[in-house]
């Protein structure tokens, strides 16, 4: 029997700032999740994009986790492209939930007006930016995000 | 918190003329016990004189620890204006005499022509002061 | 149930050139070691000369003048190396985490003429003009440092902000078409601090 599987989840992002929720079930034939790699077709879409990820209702990556830290250029050898979790995560048919947020409105953020300058990611509200039809990064929509989950029997 | 811990201690040096070596002369804080790594990086300034994002060597740094008792040799200082950092330090193992001097000199090797410094020693508009920072990875007991 | 690791994040919003932003957070109570830290900055051009200081339980880990670009990693670096990992993990237990990010902090030092003609070591007191980390106190929540006027007028590469996208870069900002400055900084931009916690 195989010991590795790269399970793919494909999402289509249609507009700037869009948030997409997804659910999936890990392949039952594999015991653990070893790593994750997010593939984006445009480099410009990486900046500001976020991916949250939970397994069996336990947080693995919070919703503000940057996709920048889950992807890599072709300068990185294929064996090193996956972000490897620091511990074995039991998968075995577990249910995955995730939330991908497009970051192309990122440069359009406004001063949040908070004195400390610190903000809660949950409070980021792009609605105040309604009316912008372009984004400075020039991201073209729609684009597809492929989330690769590395399952193993290690 | 452990009694001894690793800190990253920066020493900023400003380079104000292309042809005059910069003397380094500063007292290290008394809580630094040992230096386990050294690196020297360009911080700001050279990007105002160059369209390149990377220059392998902009100058040479010579460093001495413990009141000039320990010379670690010469370090090439690059200019790297790319958004990729390296946390690589030159490994060292230097026990520090509390309150001793960090000394040495830095010699600039770029933009040394007459376009940048006139014969009378003054710098031209093309020259920009720049800052080189020496980072010491050190064991501290503060 | 919790995992054996957690990437605790803090986000800061930098609204104008020279702004200095302080944060104070508590490490997640279920984790006992801080193993690494990294930054992510909205615009690469914002990195140079900006600084980030960090301390845990009022013990300094990174000086206030530690350069932000040394804590940022490109996508050419394998994922699991994209941090400043502490060789000795820092013990934590619902600990006080503090950071101070200063935009364009070091640019403000370039025009200083108080040193010898050739230059020399800049005294720490001059580098950390505003002392933020003082034991037992959070003395700064927000302040602004104005870049040296000489820099703004003389050097095309020094960025002054305040424009934002609505108005475009203000006078003195680098020309985006100028190859010497391929990336402009638009304000506001965000700095995300990721701290790698472990049980």
Average pLDDT, chain C: 71
CA–CA min distance C102, chain A (Å): 11
- B142 close to C (CB below 8 A): yes
User: How much of chain B, in percent, has pLDDT values that exceed 90?
Assistant: 63
Which of C71, C87, C118 faces B20 most closely, judged by CB atoms? C118
**What was the pLDDT predicted at B85?**
54
pLDDT tens per residue across span C59-111:
888 888 899 988 888 777 777 778 888 888 999 999 988 888 888 888 888 87
Contacts of C107 in chain B (CB under 8 A): 44
Tokens of C195: 């701290």
- B51 close to C (CB below 8 A): yes
**What was the pLDDT predicted at A63?**
82
A20 pLDDT higher than 80: yes
Coil, strand or helix: which one is B110?
A: coil
- B131 close to C (CB below 8 A): yes
Contacts of A107 in chain C (CB under 8 A): 42, 165, 186, 189
CA–CA min distance C164, chain B (Å): 22
- Kindly state the DSSP code that residue B43 receives in the 8-state scheme: E
- Residue of B63 and C64 predicted with greater confidence: B63
DSSP codes joined into one string, A31-48: -EEEEEEEE-S-GGGTTT
C-alpha to C-alpha distances, A71 to A83, A112, B55, C82, C181, nearest whole angstrom: 8, 29, 28, 11, 26
Give the model's confidence band at B46: pLDDT under 50 very low, under 70 low, under 90 confident, else very high. very high
Give mean pLDDT, residues A3-32.
Answer: 91
pLDDT tens per residue across span C149-181:
222 222 222 333 332 222 333 333 334 344 334
Beta strands in chain C (DSSP E): 5-14, 19-26, 33-41, 51-56, 59-62, 84-91, 96-102, 119-121, 133-134, 137-138, 142-144, 189-198
Give the model's confidence band at C196: pLDDT under 50 very low, under 70 low, under 90 confident, else very high. very high
Say if residues C37 and C10 touch (Cβ distance below 8 Å).
Answer: no
Question: What residues pair up with C96 in beta bridges, in sequence order?
Answer: C26
**What was the pLDDT predicted at A127?**
38
Choosing among A44, A103, A109, A128, which should be mutated to test the C contact, i.e. which has the most C CBs within 10 A?
A109
Residues 48-107, chain A, touching C (beta carbon < 8 A): 48, 58-62, 64-66, 68-73, 75-77, 80-87, 89, 106-107
- Asked whether the beta carbons of residue C80 and residue A76 sit closer than 8 angstroms, the reply is no
- B132 close to C (CB below 8 A): no
Coil, strand or helix: which one is A143?
A: strand
C-alpha to C-alpha distances, C27 to A61, A93, A98, C198, nearest whole angstrom: 16, 32, 24, 11
Tell me the pTM.
Answer: 0.78
Give mean pLDDT, residues C145-152.
Answer: 28
- Asked whether the beta carbons of residue B51 and residue C61 sit closer than 8 angstroms, the reply is no
Average pLDDT, chain A: 80
Please report the number of interchain residue pairs, chain A to chain C, with beta-carbon separation below 8 angstroms: 111
**What was the pLDDT predicted at B130?**
93
User: How much of chain B, in percent, has pLDDT values that exceed 70?
Assistant: 94
Cis check for the bond before B91: say yes or no (omega within 30 of 0): no
Residues 33-62, chain C, touching B (beta carbon < 8 A): 44, 47-49, 56-57, 59-62
- Asked whether the beta carbons of residue C120 and residue B129 sit closer than 8 angstroms, the reply is no
Coil, strand or helix: which one is A70?
A: helix
CA–CA min distance A64, chain C (Å): 8
Interchain contact A/B (3 or more Cβ pairs less than 8 Å):
no
Cα of A70 vs its chain's centroid, Å: 7
Say if residues C24 and C98 touch (Cβ distance below 8 Å).
Answer: yes
Kindly list the partner chains of chain A, i.e. chains with 3 or more CB atom pairs below 8 Å.
C
Choosing among C70, C89, C172, which should be mutated to test the B contact, i.e. which has the most B CBs within 10 A?
C70
C104's torsion region: left (phi>0), alpha (psi -120 to 50) or beta? Answer: left
Which of C66, C88, C116 faces B6 most closely, judged by CB atoms? C88
A103: closest chain C residue by CA: C42
Say if residues C194 and C6 touch (Cβ distance below 8 Å).
Answer: no
Helices (H), chain C: 107-110, 124-127, 149-154, 164-167
The torsion angle over the Cα atoms of residues C110, C116, C120 and C122, rounded to 10 degrees, is -60
Residue A112, C-beta contacts closer than 8 angstroms, at least 6 positions apart: A119, A123, C13, C188
Contacts of B83 in chain C (CB under 8 A): 44, 47, 69, 72, 74
Contacts of A116 in chain C (CB under 8 A): 21-23, 141-142
- Residue of C117 and B1 predicted with greater confidence: C117
Highest mean pLDDT among A85-99, C74-88, C114-128: A85-99
């Amino acid at each position: 029997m195989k010991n590795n599987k790269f399970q793919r989840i494909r999402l289509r992002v249609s507009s700037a700032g869009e948030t997409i929720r997804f659910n999936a079930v890990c392949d039952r034939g594999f015991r653990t999740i070893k790593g994750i790699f997010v593939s984006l077709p445009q480099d410009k879409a990486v900046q500001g994009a976020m991916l949250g990820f939970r397994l069996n209702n336990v947080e693995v990556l919070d919703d503000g986790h940057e996709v920048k830290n889950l992807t890599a250029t072709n300068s990185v050898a294929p064996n090193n492209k996956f972000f490897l979790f620091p511990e074995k995560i039991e998968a075995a048919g577990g249910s995955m939930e995730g939330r991908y947020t497009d970051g192309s409105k990122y440069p359009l953020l406004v001063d949040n007006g908070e004195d400390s300058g610190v903000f809660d990611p949950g409070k980021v509200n792009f609605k105040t930016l309604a009316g912008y039809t372009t984004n400075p990064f020039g991201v073209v929509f729609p684009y597809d995000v492929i989330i690769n989950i590395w399952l193993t029997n290690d | 918190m452990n009694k001894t811990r690793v800190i990253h201690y920066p020493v900023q040096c400003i380079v104000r003329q292309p042809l005059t070596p910069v003397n380094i002369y500063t007292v290290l804080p008394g809580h630094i016990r040992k230096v386990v790594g050294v690196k020297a990086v360009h911080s700001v300034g050279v990007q105002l004189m160059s369209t390149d994002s990377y220059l392998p060597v902009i100058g040479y740094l010579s460093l001495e620890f413990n009141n000039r008792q320990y010379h670690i040799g010469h370090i090439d200082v690059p200019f790297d204006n790319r958004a990729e950092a390296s946390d690589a330090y030159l490994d060292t193992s230097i026990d520090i005499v509390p309150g001793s001097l960090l000394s040495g000199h830095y010699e600039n090797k770029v933009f040394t022509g007459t376009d940048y410094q006139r014969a009378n020693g003054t710098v031209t508009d093309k020259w920009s002061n720049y800052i080189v920072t020496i980072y010491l990875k050190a064991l501290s007991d503060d | 149930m919790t995992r054996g690791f957690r990437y605790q994040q803090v986000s800061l919003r930098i609204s104008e050139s020279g702004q200095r932003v302080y944060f104070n957070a508590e490490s997640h109570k279920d984790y006992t070691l801080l193993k690494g830290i990294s930054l992510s900055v909205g615009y690469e051009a914002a990195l140079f000369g900006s600084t980030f200081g960090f301390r845990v339980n009022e013990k300094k880990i990174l000086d206030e003048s530690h350069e932000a670009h040394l804590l940022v990693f490109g996508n050419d670096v394998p994922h699991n190396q994209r941090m400043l990992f502490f060789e000795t993990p820092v013990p934590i237990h619902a600990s006080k985490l503090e950071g101070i990010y200063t935009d364009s902090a070091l640019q403000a030092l370039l025009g200083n003429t108080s040193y010898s003609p050739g230059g020399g070591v800049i005294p720490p007191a001059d580098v950390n003009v505003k002392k933020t980390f003082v034991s037992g106190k959070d003395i700064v929540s927000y302040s602004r440092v104005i870049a040296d006027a000489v820099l703004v007028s003389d050097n095309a590469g020094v960025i002054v902000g305040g424009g934002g996208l609505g108005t475009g870069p203000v006078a003195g900002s680098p020309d985006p078409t100028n190859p010497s400055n391929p990336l402009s900084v638009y304000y506001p931009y965000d700095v995300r601090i990721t701290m790698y916690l472990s049980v």
